[in-house]
Structure 1
Amino acid sequence: MAAVRRGPARDRRGGDRSVDPKGLGIMAESQQPVLEGKGLSKHYGHVVALDHSDFDLYPGEVLAVIGDNGAGKSTLIKILSGALVPDGGTIWLNGEEVHFTTPMEARKRGIETVYQDLAVSPALDIAENMFLGRERRAPGFLGKWFRKLDRAGMRREAREHLSNLGLLTIQNIGQSVESLSGGQRQGVAVARAAAFGSKVMILDEPTAALGVKESQRVLDLIRKLSADGMPIVLISHNMPHVFEVAHRIHVHRLGKRIAIMRPDQNTMSDAVAVMTGARQIN
């Protein structure tokens, strides 16, 4: 597999970079992936959803995963997030081989996923959604014996996370999520993942069905999280958004990774051509 290039490129020392499998440039050999998959496979009877696919995510980068419908990218992401168990291959997290059988196991290891449907509960308030499944008990006797929740503490921490991400448009932390706009709901879901995803965040179509202004707010969140050192996997069909925030682009086709591309060295037309098979990778 080789990254697509417009032409041979040379680094500052005169070395040829035209063949760069990981698309990381001359520093590729000195970095270890945060999350890595080798030879991942998944079959449903005679249907091959994933065909010995590779994957790597490096510290602090935004890695976009693109592919046509049915390419297998959703299966890949579900395996990395613990929603599916692969039939073959290995997954490595910070150099350690891991075996996830449920999303909860992946979450405990610091891999948070924000799905396209957001998986938020509209009737609950913002703080309750952020701590859903991770509710904290009040300190002392009431929390220990009567299982009282520390609602004030959870609301205070939820506000801190939202403020750190610049989501200052949400004034009342106790308002129900159903009263928020689409972009604000996405912000709550991303803030929840950022609060608990200590190692990796996976975003599945985070700007789908959002307006221009709200989409830009989500992209700003992605850039901020990446700048703070959070490695992010971005699954998206929106090529302008991909080229705006991604450092590398993982192109998935026919159940496997067929190319790594870089927005600073390739065009959207290049990416679409490779993704659809109109352009072949040598």
Structure 2
Amino acid sequence: MSESTTTEVIRTEGLVKRFGAVTALNGVSLYLRQGEVLGLVGDNGAGKSTLIKILTGFLQPDEGRIFIDGREVRLRSVSYARSLGIETVYQDLALVNELSVYHNMFLKRETLLNPLPLLNNWRMRRLAREYLESMGVNIPSVDTEVAQLSGGQRQSIAIARAVYSRARILLLDEPLAAMGAKEGSLIMNLIRTLKNEGQVSIIMIAHNYAQVLEICDRVNLLQHGRIALDKPAGQTSVEELTELVMREYRVGANQRQQPLAGR
């Protein structure tokens, strides 16, 4: 990916978000290029989820600016963000376990047998099967209830549904959390497929630095509500990211101990 010629699809400048006396974001500036996979890492409480909720239109920043395709916007709602091509897949996936795969793929976007107000199950089943196969998502059948699928398969369905809804910017909140190696590889392969196609730009929150460095083009480390590191994945390492996080703990521990030392 050429950094000088690739278009930025999203940019934030100085985002600030406060919850009472707590400042969750304290001047976050980041960018995402067309077709890029950006890994967003940081310890619990660093502000990652707050940032994602702002980018998906669920929360409003107290300060700062957001640009989509170079144009300043106010993401006033989730539906407005979706109209701009921004989709989010959260850890809870928002799938209905009792429904089939194809019904979940078309949830709230059902195809009807016009002019009759009846579901066109045949069409939805066929389109879901074709789309999942094109993305390399392997499941027993699109008729299978989501509850019967593995965690990796369910995550794949949620990601595929977001992309199928014409997402241009995909926000993934811990897509690899609590997954074994086999299930994690399903998601990694799906993200790799999307990356190779270059049509969807992705911000992925993750705690596993090795997985982030394997799949992402670039890494941002969020600390104290700010971007503390922005590097191409090939120019950083698990050791560097770990050291930066541990250094924060050491500094915090020293600050807590100083009043005791003066007694």
Partner residue of 2:159? 190
Report matched runs for 1:1-282 at 5 Å.
Answer: 27-139=2-114, 141-142=115-116, 147-168=117-138, 170-229=139-198, 230-278=200-248
Q: Give the number of equivalent residue pairs.
A: 249
Which deviates more from structure 2 when the two are superposed, residues 265-274 or residues 77-86? 265-274
Identity of aligned residues (%): 41
Question: What is the rounded CA distance, in whole Å, between the counterparts of 2:190 and 2:57 in structure 1?
Answer: 25
Question: What is the rounded CA distance, in whole Å, between the counterparts of 2:244 and 2:166 in structure 1?
Answer: 32
Q: Which runs of 5+ in 1 are unaligned?
A: 1-23
Question: What is the rounded CA distance, in whole Å, between the counterparts of 1:174 and 1:162 in structure 2?
Answer: 13
For the 8 Å contact 1:158–1:173, the answer to whether it is kept is yes
Specify the code of the residue in structure 1 equivalent to 2:24: A
Cα deviation 1:161-205 (Å, max 9, x = unaligned): 21011113x132111100111111111011101111431111111
1:158 to partner: Cα distance: 1.0
Cα deviation 1:85-114 (Å, max 9, x = unaligned): 111111111112221222222112111111
- In terms of fraction of residues, the more helix-rich structure is 2
1:228 to partner: Cα distance: 0.7
Question: What is the rounded CA distance, in whole Å, between the counterparts of 1:72 and 1:87 in structure 2?
Answer: 14
Partner secondary structure for residue 84 of structure 1: coil
Question: Over aligned residues, Cα RMSD in angstroms?
Answer: 1.7
1:136 to partner: Cα distance: 2.2
Please report the TM-score for the alignment, with normalisation by the length of structure 2: 0.90
For the 8 Å contact 1:68–1:275, the answer to whether it is kept is yes
Question: What is the rounded CA distance, in whole Å, between the counterparts of 1:48 and 1:90 in structure 2?
Answer: 17
Question: What is the rounded CA distance, in whole Å, between the counterparts of 1:94 and 1:277 in structure 2?
Answer: 36
Question: What is the rounded CA distance, in whole Å, between the counterparts of 2:196 and 2:75 in structure 1?
Answer: 28
Partner secondary structure for residue 48 of structure 1: strand
Question: What is the rounded CA distance, in whole Å, between the counterparts of 1:34 and 1:56 in structure 2?
Answer: 8
Please report the TM-score for the alignment, with normalisation by the length of structure 1: 0.84
Partner secondary structure for residue 91 of structure 1: strand
Question: What is the rounded CA distance, in whole Å, between the counterparts of 1:262 and 1:275 in structure 2?
Answer: 18
For the 8 Å contact 1:261–1:271, the answer to whether it is kept is no
Question: What is the rounded CA distance, in whole Å, between the counterparts of 1:97 and 1:239 in structure 2?
Answer: 32
Question: What is the rounded CA distance, in whole Å, between the counterparts of 1:197 and 1:64 in structure 2?
Answer: 22
Query: Which stretches of structure 1, 4 residues or longer, exceed 4 Å deviation after superposition?
Result: none
For the 8 Å contact 2:153–2:186, the answer to whether it is kept is no
1:276 to partner: Cα distance: 4.1
